[in-house]
Amino acid sequence: MAGLGSQVGWPSTDGAEAVPPVPGAAAKRGPRILLRSSWQTVNIGDVAHTPGVLALIEKHIPDAEVQLWPSSLGDGVAEMLRARFPSVKVIDRSPAGIRAAFAYHDFLLHGSGPYLVAADDVARWRAEAGQPYGVYGITLGDPDEKTLDILNDARFVFFRDTVSMNNALDRGVTQPVPTVRFAPDGAFATDLADDAAADAFLRTNGLEDGRFLCCIPRYRVTPYWEIYDRAPTESEKASDAYNQRMKEHDHAPLRAAITAVVRRTDLRVLICPEDRSQVKLGKEMLLDKLPADVRSRVVWRDTFWSLDEARSTYVRSAGLFGHEMHSPIMCVGSGVPAIVCRWRQQTTKGFMWRDIGLADWLFDMDDEASIAGIVPAVLAMAQDPVAAKAKTQAALAFVRQRQQATMAKVAKEARLGVPA
């Protein structure tokens, strides 16, 4: 595989192998980890970060006690997490509750995200708790001095794409390798499922396991004003104008791919959302513009859905393509092929596809030459599922190797704070 691990020959555990217990030594309790995560719930991608990292801790640090310090747990997310992780407590986010959490925990872990989302909270932990912390699987653009200071005092900083990693090293993150490394987004480990809901949806819409592809549309700039049903600000009005100007350019290749799949294979296509704004967009820019013979074999998801139902649907598909990142992440994390079409407004996170060995499933919507490859790639995925699955499994093997290596480092650092 041409993934990053084979390029640089990283060891499997970053030098953080488990240390065997000393005979006769008294057993220490497991580490108490405070996970700062759960940024928002209006898209299932942001929801996926938290259960992914929790599943990684559960697997790789089984004796850890984890409590969650979230930003948002609405829209049924709290219930989903409670059902899957019943032992994980959500901290009281009052000032007194946060102080109590600081006193109780040994280590703070900042979860995956688009940047150092909770920089202020990490700084507060450092100042008030005086305990170690680490950062797991973020993207980094142009860091300010405050961010650099926080990152340089962390026990480790793992970036979810190597463009971010190299940018951090170039911009002043001075920690040495292996403290600064590549770690796939935590959402790769997400395993939430609602099989009953997915099966019911497929039955209702005539979709059969393994006989359909998923397609996700997206605006260039997420229209939060639309998602939250409020008037846009002046800057958001400019973003909306840009979205409207680019939406035909960005969705014509997806329509062409849907048409090719329907006309040249026996698969159907499901148009589905990762955030709330994409429900209407999928009908406007994909379904309604398809030729009649194609439209008859395409299903449009006309309501938003929860992460667990979405993932259960993805794993029943033959693959996914479109303009989002975290649905493809959840697909590959479950062994399902996925093609990513990105643009510059989505930061550098899409380059993780290149990092894990899926460069030929990564397309740049700002490059016309790259766009020309979308239809052939989607068609190949549909026509040769054995090869597509093999490619996906190779990427997933590398992801799991990096998960094992980076979680060994998390475990090592978290255990250092446990009292003797």
Of 186-200, 287-301, 363-377, 406-420, give the lowest mean pLDDT range.
Answer: 406-420
**4-190+400-416 and 195-397: identical CATH topology:** yes
**189-234 pLDDT, tens digit each:** 999 999 999 999 999 999 999 999 999 999 999 999 999 999 999 9
State which fold the 4-190+400-416 domain adopts: Rossmann fold (3.40.50)
Query: Cα–chain-centroid distance for residue 357?
Result: 17
22, containing H or E segment: none
Return the ∠ at Cα 113 (arms to 109 and 116), rounded to 5°: 70
d(CA 263, CA 116): 45
Is the pLDDT assigned to residue 15 strictly greater than 50? no
Q: Indicate if the pLDDT at residue 23 is higher than 80.
A: no
If we measure between CA atoms, which residue out of 372, 375, 365 comes closest to residue 248? 365
- Locate 216 and state its tokens: 């996700």
3-state DSSP helix/strand/coil % of the chain, to nearest 5: 50, 15, 35
Q: Do 165 and 143 form a contact (C-beta atoms < 8 A)?
A: no
pLDDT of residue 27: 64
SS3 (DSSP) at 408? helix
What distance in Å separates the CA atoms of residue 290 and residue 7, rounded to the nearest whole number?
42
Average pLDDT for 15-24 = 42
pLDDT at 21: 44
pLDDT band at 69 (very low <50, low <70, confident <90, very high): very high
* Residue 1: pLDDT over 90: no
Judge contact between 119 and 147, C-beta under 8 A: yes
Q: Tell me: pLDDT of 244 over 80.
A: yes
The confidence score (pLDDT) of residue 5 equals 37
Percentage of the residues of the chain whose pLDDT score is greater than 90: 90
- What is the mean pLDDT of the segment spanning 381-402? 98
Q: Report the percent of the chain where pLDDT is more than 70.
A: 93
CA distances to 44, 119, 139, 196 from 110, in Å: 19, 9, 12, 33
Q: Where are the beta strands (DSSP E) in 169-220?
A: 180-182, 212-216
Average pLDDT, the chain: 93
Q: What is the spatial distance between Cα 178 and Cα 180, in angstroms, rounded to a whole number?
A: 5
Of the pLDDT bands very low, low, confident and very high (cuts 50, 70, 90), residue 177 is low
- Token pair 């996170």 is found at 349
Specify the range with the lowest mean pLDDT, choosing from 136-140, 141-145, 237-241.
141-145
Residue type, 161: D
pLDDT of residue 172: 86
Q: Where are the beta strands (DSSP E) in 265-314?
A: 268-271, 298-300
**How do the domains of the chain map onto residue ranges?**
4-190+400-416, 195-397
Q: What is the CATH number of domain 195-397?
A: 3.40.50.2000
Q: Is the dihedral of CA 349, 353, 354, 360 positive or negative?
A: negative
